[in-house]
Amino acid sequence: MRDGDETVASPNILKTLVKRSLRRSNVRRKIADYLFDISPSGSYTSEIAYNIKTTPTNVIGAIRGMNSRYRSDESLISLNIVEQINSGKNNDIKLYKLTDFGKEIVESLRDNTRRF
């Protein structure tokens, strides 16, 4: 099914695609896990990078997409797992936090891991 220029998928298919994307990238999965652990608070790029032991560039790529290494259509923002919140005097501080959908996905992935 298509809606304008965007493909619309059923909720179950969307969840499957999102889980596949998280399984394919350790950085995306670690970011989602970290943001789940600190939710409902958000965090900024360098703090996320420090806590998951990677570079801020990898965090930005996983969250927003970055050319060939992190595809934009598999970024955490485009998958609706993470949302960007602008704050500060001139909206110059970007915080990232897990969406409700993202919390649901991380919980289901953790439940699947515990079963085995």
pLDDT in tens, 30-76: 999 999 999 999 999 999 999 999 999 999 999 998 877 778 888 89
Q: What is the pLDDT of residue 4?
A: 47
Q: Would you tell me the crossing angle of helices 26-38 and 100-115 to the nearest 10 degrees?
A: 110
- Find the range with the poorest average confidence among 45-49, 78-82, 90-94, 98-102: 90-94
Residue 1, pLDDT > 80, answer: no
Say which residues have a Cβ less than 8 Å from residue 114's Cβ, sequence separation at least 6: none
Q: Where are the domains of the chain?
A: 2-115
CB atoms under 10 Å from CB of 4, counted, come to: 6
CA gap 14, 79 in Å, rounded:
9
Distance CA 5, CA 106 (A): 28
Whether the model pTM is above 0.95:
no
The CATH code for residues 2-115 is 1.10.10.10
Q: What does residue 105 show for φ and ψ, rounded to 5 degrees?
A: -65, -50
